[in-house]
Structure 1
Amino acid sequence: MENTTDTMKKLDRKTLNKSFHRWFWGALTCFSQEHMQTFGYMASMLPIIKKLYPKHDDQVKAIHAYTAFFNTNPMLGTVIVGITASMEQARSNGQNIDGETINDMRAGLMGPIAGIGDSLIDGTLIPILLGISLGMSSGGSPVGAIFYIVSWVLIAYFGQRFLYFRGYKFGDQAVSFLVGKQGAAIRHAIGIVGSMVVGGVLASWVNVTTSLKLVGSNGKVFLNLQDKLDSIYPGILTVAITFFCWWLMTKKHVSAIWTMLILVAVSLVGVLLGFFNPGLSY
């Protein structure tokens, strides 16, 4: 016998808030290479399960669907948790949804959401915030650090909250916004803004120069390499180092950590050979 409108189970705001906060604070709880975000996901679904299934045996049966491996971008992945809450509510009301259907949905979405989230959040949003913060920190001012902490916390909290409740409200239709044409256009626009900010940070904060000078037998400098380079292309060493880092990471797939280590090695060799001058005095 199908449920009528009066007897249908519905999640209240308090339960949804509890579920969201458990994900926000514990998405990476008990994180391991074997389970990744499985336990954080399961913890966020416990309030949903307890609300929809009063009997303990039904709770145990329902929560079993969330023991499977799960890993995605923690911020954008919030929408998957919201969609799951909506599907779990539909399952408790007798609709044709089972644990395997929920797992198929999660497995199908966690990869694309991770790719979008990593590029949009880690690769675009965070560099934009850091670029603005660096500009505000000139002269040793703490304003930049405060701005970054406050802005990141507010964006992370309210952004994830928005995605969670949109996922719950619209179900799997919410994902079409992220992976559809509108989402692609927004990501492209944000990527352009991010490139502009990173370019501005590069021009303002990166300055590579050489101290190499050739001295004649009379003790006078007859070749100042930096002056010659500036007469050809001002900032050419900065551009060269930038393209070198880009080439390493995009073409050779060298990680950011190894790229930094290579730059340290280049700097040390350059100082020893007299090509760079760190301006240190002992």
Structure 2
Amino acid sequence: MTGDSEDPNDDVQYHIEVGEGDVADAVLLPGNPERIEKITQFWDSADEMASHREYRTVTGDYEGTPISVTSTGIGSPSAAIAVEELARVGADTFLRVGSCGAIQPDMEVGDLVISTGGVRQEGTSDAYVREDYPAVADYEVVSALVAAAERLDYDYHTGVTMSADSFYAGQGRPGFEGFEAAGSDELVENLKDANVKNIEMEASAIMTLANIYGLRAGAVCSVFANRETGEFLTEGENRAAETASLAVKLLAQMDEKKAEADVDRWHPGLSLE
């Protein structure tokens, strides 16, 4: 076992460069740093706290609720670093806000997908726990995301998400010069038959780490491509951003209801109306 010798800085986290008090309890996790402005446009205030490598962190206020966003870059390894270091400075709720490829024919480009769980095809979570440990979204986060999408009248789907480590071979796409990985021609069809809704690259690791640490996590992604129909369009980013921001407000209301009722978990009997 090693101590803390790998981190030479006692004041801020090594990769994301934020410290205690820099982030809210709930943090949105987009991959692309450029997506942060598309998220914070819905907030009442937003102040940049740090920017280092792929990690850019902004903290502000959404309709009276403190909220933060940290970009994670592409893939589960860097997303896991963000969760680890954000948790160390006090964050306890994580909402991935991203894009995805849909694999069911009834899903339109621009729709939202709210993950209820994940197929762990990324290798990052394997470093933490046995391979048959499930990646499950926190039901309070799922409930808040669904309620937010309903209030905003956005088309959405709920279900299982597959998270891959590769954009090309790992998602059944041809690689350089047409290279095809073993089984890639059957991958999407097998997932479709199992009623998996979409493919992306971070959600299952984020949900797995959150469950291990007793934190809350979930994901909402906008459909950029439908692998079944072949349609592709960068559509729906703003809907995912607004839905996730409103969900953070609803989660804060859930926490208030829990405190009033002196219970540990929110349930539908504790109405948010």
Could you state the TM-score of these two structures normalised by the residue count of structure 1? Answer: 0.22
Bigger proportion of residues as strand: 2
Task: Indicate the structure with greater helix content.
Answer: 1
Question: Which structure exhibits the higher relative contact order, with contacts defined as CA atoms closer than 8 Å and separated by 6 or more residues?
Answer: 2
**Higher gyration radius (CA):** 1
TM-score of the superposition, structure 2-length normalised?
0.23
